[in-house]
Amino acid sequence: MDQPVTREWMQRTFEATKNWGRWGAEDERGALHFVTSRKRAAAAALARDGVAVSCARDLPVEASIENPSPALHHMLVAGDAADSVMPGVGATMDFIGVAFHGMATSHLDALCHVAVDGRIYNGFPVSEVRSTGARRSSVMVIADGIVSRGVLLDVPRLRGVDWLEPGERIAPDELERAETAQRVRVEEGDVLLVGTGRDARRGAQGPWDPVAVGLAGLDARCIPWLHERRIAVLGSDGVSDALPGAGIEGWPIPVHQCCLVAMGVPLLDNLALAELARACAERGRYEFLFLAAPLRVPGGTGSPLNPIAVF
Amino acid sequence: MDQPVTREWMQRTFEATKNWGRWGAEDERGALHFVTSRKRAAAAALARDGVAVSCARDLPVEASIENPSPALHHMLVAGDAADSVMPGVGATMDFIGVAFHGMATSHLDALCHVAVDGRIYNGFPVSEVRSTGARRSSVMVIADGIVSRGVLLDVPRLRGVDWLEPGERIAPDELERAETAQRVRVEEGDVLLVGTGRDARRGAQGPWDPVAVGLAGLDARCIPWLHERRIAVLGSDGVSDALPGAGIEGWPIPVHQCCLVAMGVPLLDNLALAELARACAERGRYEFLFLAAPLRVPGGTGSPLNPIAVF
Amino acid sequence: MDQPVTREWMQRTFEATKNWGRWGAEDERGALHFVTSRKRAAAAALARDGVAVSCARDLPVEASIENPSPALHHMLVAGDAADSVMPGVGATMDFIGVAFHGMATSHLDALCHVAVDGRIYNGFPVSEVRSTGARRSSVMVIADGIVSRGVLLDVPRLRGVDWLEPGERIAPDELERAETAQRVRVEEGDVLLVGTGRDARRGAQGPWDPVAVGLAGLDARCIPWLHERRIAVLGSDGVSDALPGAGIEGWPIPVHQCCLVAMGVPLLDNLALAELARACAERGRYEFLFLAAPLRVPGGTGSPLNPIAVF
Amino acid sequence: MDQPVTREWMQRTFEATKNWGRWGAEDERGALHFVTSRKRAAAAALARDGVAVSCARDLPVEASIENPSPALHHMLVAGDAADSVMPGVGATMDFIGVAFHGMATSHLDALCHVAVDGRIYNGFPVSEVRSTGARRSSVMVIADGIVSRGVLLDVPRLRGVDWLEPGERIAPDELERAETAQRVRVEEGDVLLVGTGRDARRGAQGPWDPVAVGLAGLDARCIPWLHERRIAVLGSDGVSDALPGAGIEGWPIPVHQCCLVAMGVPLLDNLALAELARACAERGRYEFLFLAAPLRVPGGTGSPLNPIAVF
């Protein structure tokens, strides 16, 4: 971590990690190309214990300081009127609504979610994301789901703490030390999940405002490392970026900017990783079959979802 | 199919297929108990080709005759205002809202979705499903997802047609003949998917009103068979029940009623199975790793989702 | 009605009825300037019987052929859980959601709702209506409501029919004959309501698809007349425009285009005017105090509402 | 204010102010019966200046401490896609969604909104308010709007302060002193608006949490006075009740409980009264024509709205 992150460094790094054109001028799939059939089959072979673990938080229907726009869960027909739907049988129904790109909803960011200098991944203008939906790199590109090898790097465990404090930054060498400690190596096509202990802190101290107070995450210096390793997807119990940003003008969320826009790596934000970390620690195994299936939303910029790890 | 389906037969069948108390008086999990770790691990071993196929339809955001309550997909910030979210970087965002228990949304029915004589699975009163959410057998029971062996029985293929007509009924012997023809056997803990060719008909003739015109599905006589085979989950490109019902008073949707309420078998409705059928036919293989992960909605009666089959 | 409506005629009429600049280059209020304090006071003096009549349809929460995107009315807390809100007292609550610019919701069109050649009223570019809200001529301009003299012209009554058929056009001379028959004259600052008997037809024959089948409305030749009379607001039980349009390229909804964009006259669409027509006929009086108060939605393009006539 | 408010006093007051049966056993209209045609006509005569003033706050689409469930305002089509709606003309559209019974939305409480001992106004069981909508005393009872004489009692002005502090209580003698000071008398059928300066405090100090910190409002001892004066509707810039409540078991919001349930007086909560107070003070006139028109929501428990005062 000797080299300071400057605006110039960010610009160079953005250019250096660009996968634009790598899979053709019309490509909207980005780093998901790293997930081959062979990769998926190898990932499935990891599910030898047959134990499934959810990596999502509950849909945040209650307002809280970390969640200024709560999701809507409305019962349309409850037990009191269950007989009103059809004659002779009771039925209950509900409605779900969610502005999922918040700080408390487990969600997928499609590649069209972020733009740098007016461009999304592969150089398409952000104006392609219209008020009626995205015409490029929408979540529909990921309609067949993400099925690959998942790897959890559990940073609080490496540091011997319960959680990282808001704003703390994880350096690339720390990712490598976590690999060594956990006897696992992040490889091409992996879904890399980085745990910061957010749930543990929330359990102990209650929720906090991620914008005002911050979130632990990756230092921008991890970006070249993520690129070298050719990960397909990056996820975190935070938002992968450390908040607040490092104060580099134009680069408030460098991991989002470089992953989504330069590399074409979709992100999984606000996951629940405590249970997963326990399952890994129990087994001394930090690799697993990972599955995430966004809703098929034409023109969508992402999706709420419930990723599942299978050991 | 000699024996006529009468009201008495339905009542006897409902009683005969009840799993109430089988896993304890407080059980809310039902037939998902049939999915053991061993089952999951064996299912994962089926994913040897590493090919993933979505089994969901696109979220139905356009009104259509099969879809009177279209889902909401609202862009919150499009490219025209992408620079308004945070300084120096563009972001686009959207909102999804859906009353998912319709006839055009791929969704999971949790066990609390249907009641018979005022009772849901395991005898809990339907009044436990309150206007503020279900307190018993909500979708949260399935929060770790459904990971098991999936089996597709492709009935149009067996019959040598492109699709079954609305209202056509599938008899239990036909399920067995499909097993034979496809060289597959439905076993304990399986996710059974029954294809009726709905997508093919829709592609050829356009959408139709499933309530007024009907849907192909299982004859009520399949219910004992489903129980014997100890399936964990039942899904279809229709709603598993044939519509319109057989006119038996009190039993308009007998498959829903017996699966959800008696057996505790959750349902997957309105799947997209055309692509899956092609993938199976290509391989001459009708079994695969099946994954479905509902959103974690506290108190929810189900969830929209995007199930994935992996070959 | 001798002169044919051509593209050139429409363009000339658009130019001729433009109020752009009339109230200054920054004006967003348009013809509402015609409603002076004096006008409002005179209108109030019409409310001498003290009888109030709603001019709105019920919020269309049921899907129907005229209403492909039904409004949402979701109970959040019903009687079954009324005691869950606060200790010792019962409370029930609900949620309303509506995409109000449909063909079945009584609503106000703010001036930013329609653009001609990329311009809204007074020449502002339509790009001022951003995905995050309108920055010009939003419904907030009308936040203090519309309080003026209302005049109903009851065209079916003039013609001696119960309703006009879909697609039928009303000519300007017919408006004048209605004035004569009803002994009323449309004047500066009035809210002009034109009845076509839509509710009566719906009551007799059921709903129909306004886009495919059409709606009765004003012929484009009425536009200069509306301009001469200096009306402030135009409303109808249809959408003021006759549908389908007359087939003039670029002018599918000429009344909307000229009222909203050229004149700056906001519109009230899909009103319920049957009750109002009865109240007028009973009294032989077609003028009344008219009140319409949109919700205060910053950046909104209009609002659902419930206008009230007081006799 | 000598007599202490006890649980017994509340129970006696509830009984003493009951209008149950007063207008028949099936009545759902309650104190709106006090608004006669004569009353409306007399109210209209007050609109002699022709000046209209909105009494509503902007729809609270931003999360804030007073507003944990922000309203939804979603652009469906913005200027960037205005040409996608129909050929040749631009159109922009939006969606509004609101859980209006919050502490930051100007709204009407219909009589079914609150229950005491399981009963709503006129003794109907609260179970009549079903998860599919209210079957008694819904907002549809008020579909023709509220048109009557409005009277503002400006308590901060009486006290010579800018605002009342959260939790401060207004006694009935203070209402009478405000009447004297303002030379106005609250009469049968009036819409009584009580100003507490909430907007002024918010302007000066920012928003606060009305539940945790409180709101100024009427002391429970005002309830008999409201009943004697036979008001039709009660409104406030707060919620009429002082928060937190006086700690009487079972009576957390006594004004809501007695007005809605006993008297059948609908309430208007969270109004914006600063502009109205200025308009009154300017004229030395605290009476005006008052108009409030809820959306016509079948089965609704109230409505967001924008009431208008006309001087």
Residue A87 pLDDT:
87
Q: Is A302 on the interface with B (CB under 8 A)?
A: yes
Most B CBs within 10 Å, among D61, D62, D75, to test the B interface: D75
Q: Is C132 on the interface with A (CB under 8 A)?
A: no
Which residues 144-183 of chain C have a CB within 8 Å of chain A?
A: none
Query: D75, B79: Cβ pair inside 8 Å?
Result: no
The residue type found at D228 is E
C-beta separation of B162 from B197 below 8 A: yes
Residues of C in contact with A79 (CB under 8 A): 80
The pLDDT of B48-56, averaged and rounded, is 98
Residue B256 pLDDT:
98
CA separation, residue B282 to residues B277, B311, C173 (Å): 9, 11, 70
Q: Which of C72, C80, C95 sits opposite A78 (nearest CB)?
A: C80
The residue type found at B60 is P
> How far is it, in rounded angstroms, from Cα D96 to Cα D304?
11
The pLDDT of D201-219, averaged and rounded, is 97
Strand order of the β-sheet with D93-98 is C72-77, C93-98, D93-98, D72-77
Residues of B in contact with D95 (CB under 8 A): 72, 74
> How far is it, in rounded angstroms, from Cα D98 to Cα B278?
45
The Cα of D227 is separated from the nearest Cα of chain C by a number of Å equal to 21
Please say if the pLDDT value at position B94 is more than 70.
yes
Q: Is D308 on the interface with C (CB under 8 A)?
A: yes
Please name the residues in contact with C297: beta carbons below 8 A apart, sequence gap of 6 or more: C138, C139, C140, C303, D58, D59, D61, D73, D94, D96
Residue B63 pLDDT:
87
Residues of A in contact with B82 (CB under 8 A): 115, 126, 129
Residue A2 pLDDT:
59
Neighbours of chain A (3+ CB pairs under 8 A): B, C, D
pLDDT tens across D29-78, in order?
Answer: 999 999 999 999 999 999 999 999 999 999 999 988 998 889 999 999 99
Q: Which residue has the tokens 């008398």?
A: D185
Query: B301, A42: Cβ pair inside 8 Å?
Result: no
> How far is it, in rounded angstroms, from Cα A89 to Cα A87?
6
Query: D95, B75: Cβ pair inside 8 Å?
Result: no
Query: A74, C80: Cβ pair inside 8 Å?
Result: no
Residues of B in contact with D72 (CB under 8 A): 95
Q: Is C79 on the interface with A (CB under 8 A)?
A: yes
Residue C87 pLDDT:
87
The Cα of A128 is separated from the nearest Cα of chain C by a number of Å equal to 13
Counting residues of chain A whose pLDDT is more than 90, the rounded percentage is: 96
Q: Is A276 left (phi over 0), alpha (psi -120 to 50) or beta?
A: alpha
pLDDT class of D2 with cuts at 50, 70, 90: low
Please say if the pLDDT value at position B37 is more than 70.
yes
pLDDT tens across D211-242, in order?
Answer: 999 999 999 999 999 999 999 999 999 999 99
Residues of D in contact with A97 (CB under 8 A): 72, 97
User: Of A301, A77, A288, A94, nearest to A191 (Cα)?
Assistant: A288
Please name the residues in contact with C70: beta carbons below 8 A apart, sequence gap of 6 or more: B68, B69, C60, C61, C62, C63, C64
What residues pair up with A62 in beta bridges, in sequence order?
none
User: Of B22, B5, B6, B1, nearest to B227 (Cα)?
Assistant: B22
Q: Six-digit token pair at D267?
A: 């309430």
Residue B87 pLDDT:
87
The Cα of C15 is separated from the nearest Cα of chain A by a number of Å equal to 30
Q: Which of D77, D97, D132 sits opposite A131 (nearest CB)?
A: D77
ipTM > 0.90 (yes/no): yes
Query: C40, D57: Cβ pair inside 8 Å?
Result: no
C-beta separation of A217 from A242 below 8 A: yes
pLDDT tens across B203-221, in order?
Answer: 999 999 999 999 999 999 9
Query: C95, A75: Cβ pair inside 8 Å?
Result: no
Please say if the pLDDT value at position B41 is more than 90.
yes
Residue C63 pLDDT:
87
Neighbours of chain C (3+ CB pairs under 8 A): A, B, D
> How far is it, in rounded angstroms, from Cα A147 to Cα A220?
27
C-beta separation of B128 from B120 below 8 A: yes
Please name the residues in contact with A164: beta carbons below 8 A apart, sequence gap of 6 or more: A155, A156, A170, A196, A197, A216
User: Of D178, D154, D151, nearest to D281 (Cα)?
Assistant: D154
Mean pLDDT, chain D, integer: 97
Residue C158 pLDDT:
98
> How far is it, in rounded angstroms, from Cα D239 to Cα D170?
13
A217-244 in b/e burial notation, b at 16+ Cβ within 10 A? bbbbbbbebbbebbbbbbbbbbbbbbbb
Low-confidence stretches of chain C (pLDDT < 70) are: 1-2
> How far is it, in rounded angstroms, from Cα B256 to Cα B113?
9
> How far is it, in rounded angstroms, from Cα A310 to Cα A44?
9
Please say if the pLDDT value at position D84 is more than 90.
yes
Query: B296, A99: Cβ pair inside 8 Å?
Result: no
Please say if the pLDDT value at position B1 is more than 60.
no
Query: B147, A52: Cβ pair inside 8 Å?
Result: yes
Q: In this structure, are strands C191-195 and C233-236 parallel, antiparallel, or unpaired?
A: parallel
The Cα of C12 is separated from the nearest Cα of chain D by a number of Å equal to 17
pLDDT tens across C120-162, in order?
Answer: 999 999 999 999 999 999 999 999 999 999 999 999 999 999 9
Query: C75, A72: Cβ pair inside 8 Å?
Result: no
Mean pLDDT, chain A, integer: 97
Residues of D in contact with C116 (CB under 8 A): 89-90
Residues of A in contact with D80 (CB under 8 A): 127, 130-131
Neighbours of chain D (3+ CB pairs under 8 A): A, B, C
Residue D4 pLDDT:
82
The pLDDT of D142-152, averaged and rounded, is 98
Residue A63 pLDDT:
87
Q: What angle do CA C155, C302, C129 make, to 5 degrees?
A: 130
Q: Which of D63, D72, D127 sits opposite A80 (nearest CB)?
A: D127
pLDDT tens across B124-176, in order?
Answer: 999 999 999 999 999 999 999 999 999 999 999 999 999 999 999 999 999 99
Q: Six-digit token pair at A13?
A: 């790094």
Residue C2 pLDDT:
59
Please say if the pLDDT value at position D85 is more than 80.
yes
Query: B72, D78: Cβ pair inside 8 Å?
Result: no
> How far is it, in rounded angstroms, from Cα A62 to Cα B297?
11
Which residues 86-115 of chain C have a CB within 8 Å of chain D?
A: 86-101, 106, 112-115
The Cα of A74 is separated from the nearest Cα of chain C by a number of Å equal to 6
Residues of A in contact with C74 (CB under 8 A): 74-76, 95
Residues of B in contact with A102 (CB under 8 A): none
Q: Is C212 on the interface with D (CB under 8 A)?
A: no
Q: What is the CA radius of gyration of chain D?
A: 20
What dihedral angle (degrees, nearest 10) is formed by the CA atoms of C46, C51, C52, C53? -100
Residues of D in contact with A130 (CB under 8 A): 80-81, 84
Is the pTM above the cut of 0.90?
Answer: yes
> How far is it, in rounded angstroms, from Cα B98 to Cα B131?
17
What residues pair up with D98 in beta bridges, in sequence order?
C96
Q: Which of D46, D61, D79 sits opposite C126 (nearest CB)?
A: D79
Residue A117 pLDDT:
97
Residues of A in contact with C75 (CB under 8 A): 74-75
The pLDDT of B30-56, averaged and rounded, is 98
pLDDT class of A144 with cuts at 50, 70, 90: very high
> How far is it, in rounded angstroms, from Cα D17 to Cα D13?
6
